[in-house]
Amino acid sequence: MTRKSPPRLQNRRTPRWLFHALEQRFGAFSLDAFAEPHNALCTRFYTEQQDGTRQPWVDVTFANPPFSLMAEALEHAVAETRHDVRSIVLAPVGCTQDWYHQLAIRGTVYKLDLRISYDMPSGRPTRGADRDTDIIGLGGEHTNPDWRRGIFRVRRLELER
């Protein structure tokens, strides 16, 4: 199956301050599952050609997938919990999406206290983000014991910039 390149608007970089704040909260990340050599946030990373949705993840994996791959990325993160992998996935708020109700519900959805403006591929910060971001934790302490009953596990996550 050949994938189309993600649209330019999906090619945003995770701000370093956000990555470091998430590491402080969830522990050091071992793998950046969706990166390129010029923007990888971990020493170990997968490029678009390597396809992070088809590679093994390791504890603790950081994932900021293109929105077009969100369902595949979350499905992979859920599958990797069987290997004791914990994942932290940046996702658009997707309350009406199937992936949200079928996959994100299995973990903890962390609601941020601020709106994230992602960086351009060049590293230049953007202003005025057009949507909110959820942080979805899967595996380990993030596992939602009530997901089969349709109950979401939601926590507030305060970040200092």
- Summarised one tens digit per residue, pLDDT across range 43-56 is 999 999 999 999 99
- Residue 28's CB: how many other CB atoms inside 10 A? 9
- Summarised one tens digit per residue, pLDDT across range 71-95 is 999 999 999 999 999 999 999 887 8
d(CA 34, CA 16): 15
Residues in CB range of 4: below 8 A, 6 or more apart: none
- Summarised one tens digit per residue, pLDDT across range 24-48 is 999 999 999 999 898 899 999 999 9
Confidence (pLDDT) at 6: 45
Q: Which CATH code of 1.20.210.10, 3.40.50.150, 3.30.230.10, 3.40.50.720 fits the domain covering 9-157?
A: 3.40.50.150
pLDDT at residue 105 tops 60: yes
**3 state DSSP class of 4:** coil
d(CA 121, CA 126): 10
pLDDT level of residue 129 (50, 70, 90 thresholds) = low
pTM, rounded to two decimals: 0.88
Strands, sheet with 31-32, edge to edge from the N-terminal-most edge strand: 31-32, 61-63, 87-92, 133-138, 108-112, 153-157
